[in-house]
Structure 1
Amino acid sequence: MSTPEPPAKASQPAPGPPQPPPSGPRTLRLEIPPSTLLRLVLLGLALWGLIRLWPVILVLVVALLIVGTLSPAVQWLESRGISRGWGIAIVFASLFTVAVLTVTLTIPSLLAQASALLEREPMARAGLADYLARYPLSTPFANWLKHLDYSASWNQVGATALSYSMRLFEVAAYGMSALFLGLYMMIDRDRLRGGLFAVVPRTHHIRLSRVLLNLETIVGAYIRGQLITCLLIGAFTFVLLTACGVKNAMALAVFAGIADVLPYVGAIMSVVPVVLVALGHSPAIAAIVLVMMLAYEEFEGRVLIPRIYGRALRLPSSVVFFALLAGGTLMGLLGALLALPVAATVMMLIEELRVELPGEQEQVADTVLRARDDLAEEEYERRTEGVAAEQAAAIAVEISVDRKKEEHQAPPPSGT
C-alpha cells in the first residue's frame, strides 16, 4: 500500500531587485480650508489696521496712563464728600494751574541758562582739555577734545529745524488729544466700564475687575513714582550745584530730572554732565559733586524707589533691563518709558489669570486663591441677578476692592 505523496507547492518567483518608481512629475496638492483662509485675511487686516492706527493707539495708551494717575486723587476727593464731577474739575484745574506756573516760572530762566552753557562750552572744553593733558593716561582724550570740531553738525541744524518743529507740534497735538481723551474717559467711567463688562461673560467679571484695579495701581504708582523721583533729583541737583557755586544750576537740574525717568541709564546720564560742568570750576568741586550725586543715586535706588513704588512694580533687575532694551529698540524713548509698566502688567496678568507656566507647580497659596475666586464669583452671581451691566460692573469692583483690603490686612498663605 503506497502512501500518497504530498501535493507539490506552487512555485513562487524569486524576488528580484526593487523596481524604480514610475518616472514623470509628481503633483502635490495643497488645500487650504476656507475657514483658515478667512482667518489669515482677518489677521492681515488687523495687522494693517494696527499699523495705520498706531498713533491713535499711542494716544489711547497715554490717555489710560493719565486716567490711572489722576483717578486716585479724584477718589480721594469723593471720599471727602465731593461729587465726582467736581472732583474731576478740581484735579484737572489744579494740573493745568501747576503746568502754567511751571512753564511761566522756569522756562525763561531755563532757556537763558541753556544759552549761557552753550556760549561757555568752548572755554569749558578747552579748560578740561588742558587739565586732562597733564596726565599721560588722559592725554589722548585731551587731544580729542582740543581738535573736536562740530561746526559741520551745526550747519545742518537749520536744514532740520523745520522738520523737528513740525514733529514737536505733532507730539504736542497728540499730547493734548490724550489729555482730553483721558478727561472724557474719567467723566464717562461708569458707561465705559459697563460697556466693557457687557461684552465679557459674567463668569469672568470678578477677575476682570481685579485686573482693572491692579492695572490702575501699576500705572498710577509708576507715573506718580516717576514724577516724585524726577522732582527730587532735580531739586537735589539744584541745591547741590547752587551750594557749590556752579553756574546754570537750574538747566543742569532740569536735565538731571528728565534723564532720571530711565532706570540705570538715567543715573549715568544725569551725573556725567553735572560733573563735567563742575570740573570746569575746580577738581575739588567736581569730586564733591560726583560723590554727592552717586550717594543720592544709591539712596534713591535702595530707599526711595522701594517706598514710592511699593509692590506695584515687582520686577527683578534682569526683567527691568530686558524690558528697557526691548522697549527702546522697538519704540525709542517712548518705548523705554512704557517698558516697565507693560512688563509689570504682563506679570500681573499671568498671576491674576492663574496661568500655569510649564516649569511651575501649583502651590498651596494658589489653591487658596482659587477657592477665594470661587467664593467671590458666587457672591457676585447672587448680587447681580437681573442687574444691568453698568450696575454689575460697580458691584464687581466693590467686591474686588473689599477682597483686596482683606488680602492686604491678612498675612499671605504660605506655599509648600
Structure 2
Amino acid sequence: MALPMTQQAKYWGIAAAVFLLLVWLMGNVLVPFLVGGAIAYFLDPVADRLERLGLSRAAATAVITLVMFLVVVLLVLAVIPTLIQQTVALVNAAPDIARNLQTFLTERFPDLTDETSIMRTTLADIGAFIQSRGADLAQGVVSSAMSILSALVFIVVVPVVAFYLLLDWDKMVARVDAMIPRDHVTTVRRLARDIDAVLAGFVRGQLTVCLIVGAYYSVTLMLAGLQFGLVVGAIAGAVSFIPYVGAIIGGVLAIGLALFQFWGDWFSIGIVVGIFILGQFMEGNILTPKLVGSSVGLHPVWLLLALSTFGALLGFAGMLIAVPVAAALGVLARFAIGQYQGSLLYRGLDPVQVPRDEDVV
C-alpha cells in the first residue's frame, strides 16, 4: 500500500533540504565534482553517438578525453595568453579612452569646458577609476577563480571525475531508475525526460551557441582590425547565455571602441556594426532555433532569478546547480499546473457533468 501523499511530500521535502544543506556546507569541495558531472552530462550524447558507430563505451570515453585534452592545450597555449594580454591592455587604455571621449564632447558641447561642470569632472574620473578598479577586479576574479578551481583541480580532479562519470553514465542512470518508487515510476520517468529535454535543449544548445558566437565575434573583429577584438568577442560569447544581452553588451563595447579607434573611417566602423548585425541575425534565426529550440521553457528571467538566488545562498557551487534546479522546478511547476487544471478544484464540476460546447445554446 502506497504511503499517503502528506508523508511522501514530507520525506521528499526532507531529502531536498538535506541536499541543499550539503551543498551549502561542502560547496567548495563539491565544485570539481559538479564541474566534472556537468562536463560528463554535456558529452554523454557524443559518447552515445560514438557507441552507435561501433566503439565501446570505454573507447568512446577515451577518444573524447583525448580530443578535450588537445582542445584545452590549444586554448592554454594560443588563446588564453592573448585574451589576458588584451584584457590588461584594455584596462590600461581606459584613461586615454575617457580623455578622448571628454575631448570629443567638449568640442561639440563648449559648456563642458567649465571646470565646475559635473559632467566634465565625472568624465575625468572615469578613466582613472576604471584603471584602478578594473585591475583590482581582474586580479580578484582571477584569484577567486584560481582559489576555487586550482591548478590541481584542472589537471587532476575535474578530468578524472568527468572521465569516470562519462564512462559509467548509462549505468548510473539505470541505477537511479531502479531506485524510483514503483508507485510513481511512470510519472517520475516522464518528468525526468522533460527535465532532460529542457537541460539538453538549453545547456548543451546554449553553450554551443555561446562558443560559436564568441568565436565568430572574436575572429571577425580581429580581422576587422579592432584592437581588443578577442576580448569583446569573448565577452559577447559568454554573455550570450542570456538571449540578446550578449549582442547588446558586445555591440555597445565594440562599436564604442571602434568609434575611438576608427573615428573618421566610417567604412571600418560600418564593418564593426555589420559584424554584430550579422551575428545577431545568425544567432536569433539560425543558431538558437536549431541548437536550442523555441520550446525549451526556461525563460531568461527565471534563469537570472535562479542564478542570483542560488549564487547568493550557496556561492559558486550554487550557480553550478542553478540551471538544473531551475529546469526541474519549471518542469514540476508545469506538471503541477496541468494536474490542477485537470482537477475538480479547477473545473468545479465532475467531468461527467461538464457541459459540452455543442450542448450550450
**Letter paired with 1:78:** E
Shift of 1:331: 0.7
Higher helix share: 2
Matched, 1:305 2:278: no
* Structure 2: distance between partners of 1:55 and 1:103: 24
- The match for 2:181 is 201
* Structure 1: distance between partners of 2:136 and 2:220: 36
- The match for 1:355 is 336
Match of 1:281 among 257, 261, 278: 261
Query: What secondary structure, in the 3-state scheme, does the structure 2 residue paired with 1:220 have?
Result: helix
- The match for 1:327 is 307
* Structure 2: distance between partners of 1:272 and 1:144: 20
- The match for 1:260 is 240
CA contact (8 A) 1:246 1:278 kept: yes
Shift of 1:180: 2.8
- The match for 1:86 is 59
Match of 1:170 among 130, 141, 148: 148
Which moves more between the two structures, 169-178 or 159-168?
159-168
Shift of 1:111: 3.0
CA contact (8 A) 1:133 1:143 kept: no
Shift of 1:295: 4.8
CA 1:120–1:355: 2 relative to 1, 3 Å: closer
CA 1:163–1:58: 2 relative to 1, 3 Å: closer
Query: What secondary structure, in the 3-state scheme, does the structure 2 residue paired with 1:197 have?
Result: helix
- The match for 1:73 is 46
- The match for 1:144 is 122
* Structure 1: distance between partners of 2:106 and 2:164: 61
1:270-311 superposed Cα distances (whole Å, 9 cap, x missing partner): 222212211112343445523542453244234321211126
- The match for 2:276 is 293
Query: What secondary structure, in the 3-state scheme, does the structure 2 residue paired with 1:73 have?
Result: helix
CA 1:156–1:75: 2 relative to 1, 3 Å: closer
**Letter paired with 1:296:** G
1:350-399 superposed Cα distances (whole Å, 9 cap, x missing partner): 55xx535576247xxxxxxxxxxxxxxxxxxxxxxxxxxxxxxxxxxxxx
1:208-237 superposed Cα distances (whole Å, 9 cap, x missing partner): 444444444433333332333223322332
Q: Give the TM-score normalised by the residue count of structure 1.
A: 0.63
Shift of 1:157: 6.2
**Letter paired with 1:346:** L
CA contact (8 A) 2:47 2:60 kept: yes
Shift of 1:100: 0.9
- The match for 2:216 is 236
* Structure 1: distance between partners of 2:34 and 2:173: 16
CA 1:355–1:178: 2 relative to 1, 3 Å: farther
- The match for 1:220 is 200
* Structure 2: distance between partners of 1:44 and 1:349: 14
Query: What secondary structure, in the 3-state scheme, does the structure 2 residue paired with 1:355 have?
Result: helix
Q: Give the TM-score normalised by the residue count of structure 2.
A: 0.71
Shift of 1:130: 1.3
* Structure 2: distance between partners of 1:238 and 1:156: 21
CA contact (8 A) 1:267 1:297 kept: yes
Shift of 1:103: 1.7
CA contact (8 A) 1:238 1:250 kept: yes
Structure of larger gyration radius:
1
* Structure 2: distance between partners of 1:150 and 1:230: 32
Q: What RMSD in Å do the two structures reach over aligned CA positions?
A: 4.0
1:190-216 superposed Cα distances (whole Å, 9 cap, x missing partner): 543343234323344444444444444
Matched, 1:346 2:329: yes
Matched, 1:132 2:105: yes
CA 1:104–1:331: 2 relative to 1, 3 Å: same
CA contact (8 A) 2:205 2:292 kept: yes
CA 1:217–1:58: 2 relative to 1, 3 Å: farther
- The match for 1:409 is none
- The match for 2:355 is none
CA 1:345–1:160: 2 relative to 1, 3 Å: closer
CA contact (8 A) 1:313 1:344 kept: no
CA contact (8 A) 1:324 1:340 kept: no
1:81-114 superposed Cα distances (whole Å, 9 cap, x missing partner): 1111101111111111111112211123333333
Unaligned runs of 5+ in 2: 1-6, 113-117, 344-361
CA 1:86–1:207: 2 relative to 1, 3 Å: farther
